[in-house]
Amino acid sequence: MLKIEHLGIAVKDLNVSIALFEQLLNTPCYKTEEVEREGVKTAFFKTGDSKIELLEASKETSSIAKFIAKKGEGIHHIAFEVDNIEAEMKRLAALGFELLSEQPFKGADNKMVCFLHPKSTNSVLVELCMEIK
């Protein structure tokens, strides 16, 4: 793992939360996009060497909608940058970590991603991400 790439925060209203985080972090949102596969709209902020990702459900069946219904707004996941996502997935699976997908897939912010099941990571949803080159 190279570094903490970002923290994902589930929010009910992306526009309201963008304004709040722009004030909180004293920096503008640098990117918004929709990840249709995951049913989310995202907004990104840079803070030092890491980022904050806000996630709003764009589908009632998305994991973010379910998360907010169960737990409310708040920290959803922590993402770690890796230089070879397939190798890292293989390494972690061999150690007994449960992957939520067999192959990485395109996520937000020009990344290939894979998530680890929280039951194998002390109840923390972990995302692996690698820059698409």
DSSP-assigned states of every residue in 1-57: --EEEEEEEE-S-HHHHHHHHHHHHTS---EEEEEGGGTEEEEEEEETTEEEEEEEE
pLDDT tens profile 85-113: 999 999 999 999 999 999 999 999 999 99
Quick one: which of 33, 67, 38 has its CA closest to 53?
33
Query: What is the reported pTM?
Result: 0.94
pLDDT tens profile 27-75: 999 999 999 999 999 999 999 999 999 999 999 999 999 999 999 999 9
